[in-house]
Amino acid sequence: MNVLMLSPGYPAEMPEFTRGLVEVGASVIGVGDQPVGGLPERTRHTLAAYVQVGSLWDEARAVAEVREALAGRRIDRVESLWEPLMVLAARLREALGVPGLGVADTIPFRDKEAMKVKLDAAGIRTPRHVAATSVGAVWEAAERIGFPVIVKPIAGAGSADTYRCDSPDELKDVLPRIAHVPSVSVEEFVDGEEYTFDTVTIDGRIAYYNVAWYRPRPLIARSNEWISPQVVALRDPDAAELADGVRMGVEVIRALGVERGFTHMEWYKKADGEVVFGEIGARPPGAHQVDQMNYACDFDVFREWARAVTFGRFDAPIERKYNVALIFKRAHGQGTIYAVEGLEAIYRRHGATIAWDNLSKIGARRRNWRQTLVSDGFLMIRHPDLATTLSIADEVGEHVRLLAR
């Protein structure tokens, strides 16, 4: 089984997916635009070969260079788990005659407007939405939908360049900040709790799924620096209060024709119980949420994903043992981190629940919290009881402080 893996060393989780492929017996050929020496050492050691292209962003050139480099070599799968390279992966599948999502099937995962149009046609509840490519079109869409509205990039990932506007004055303030975005989706603001529905699929069948809860919803977390955002993987994704969202997730997978691989969907549950689709990517969630799944079930999701996409199997027994909370921290102040307060007390009280301490160390430079959810690191805690998990997570959020100057 020869697998072409785009960008095997970046983002941070890609070396783990590459490792997973090798561990299930695949021969992995990496494709990137950096020299092989620039890859993480653990990635270099797992690759059977590496093709360096001039640019991953010039799709036609990259396809031509890969075809030339691999002339005469059979390729069985083309995998990309990084949002910006999804269409390039689709073009390579078509050029190499490899099964999987083609360009037409991939576009709805990258174009938020096309995504919602397709799901509207399938009868799935999406936010009211209008695509806009000019300032005038944004104003017209906002007036048609009614405030508050969400303005987000059509081809974006996560909540970058995403804004809630409660009034015409707020929209006027936001427009200059999104001037660099060529096309946006103007959407109805859905007020509710926000969850994920993450899956590994095999030929359209969901072999594994995970539901995580954002505390608070990402748009609020990205707008308030003092917040320590949480992502909580729920031990019981089959709970009655989540059933409608899970059912909708299954319908979305069916409507979009997902073949094999990871998906990451976000959805809302309103106070009246209505569930509303948010968006979906044909990729895993970022910010170490796949690691979070590992700690929830105590098996290697990276390896089982690899087995699913290469051999059509998911062999690990799925036993959901823990709720797992990721609590991301943002340092107070600017510059270099010089102190961490409250961490020793957390270890004394809850050390047995800490699965991973990834907090930035003293002497590290503070990161830009607007550019990364991980910010200045995180604590990952796990516990079988949800109320206990949330209580400890809130304690970490309130009492652990990283100080910078």
Task: Encode pLDDT of 152-163 as tens digits.
Answer: 998 766 667 889
| Sheet with strand 77-79: strands edge to edge | 49-52, 27-32, 2-6, 77-79
pLDDT in tens, 231-267: 999 999 999 999 999 999 999 999 999 999 999 999 9
| Nearest one of 74, 60, 69, 1 to 31, comparing CA atoms | 69
Cα dihedral across residues 316, 322, 325, 326: positive or negative = negative
Single-letter code of the amino acid located at 38: G
pLDDT in tens, 311-331: 999 999 999 999 999 999 999
Query: What SS3 state is found at 123?
Result: coil
Single-letter code of the amino acid located at 206: I
Instruction: Report residue 213 as tokens.
Output: 């809860």
Instruction: Report residue 47 as tokens.
Output: 């690759």
Q: What percent of the chain has pLDDT over 90?
A: 95
The rounded distance, in Å, linking the Cα atoms of 306 and 24 is 7
User: Partners of 339 in the beta sheet?
Assistant: 403
With 0.85 as the threshold, say if the pTM is over it.
yes
Cα dihedral across residues 360, 361, 366, 367: positive or negative = negative
Distance of alpha carbon 337 from the chain centroid: 28
pLDDT in tens, 141-200: 999 999 999 999 987 666 678 899 999 999 999 999 999 999 999 999 999 999 999 999
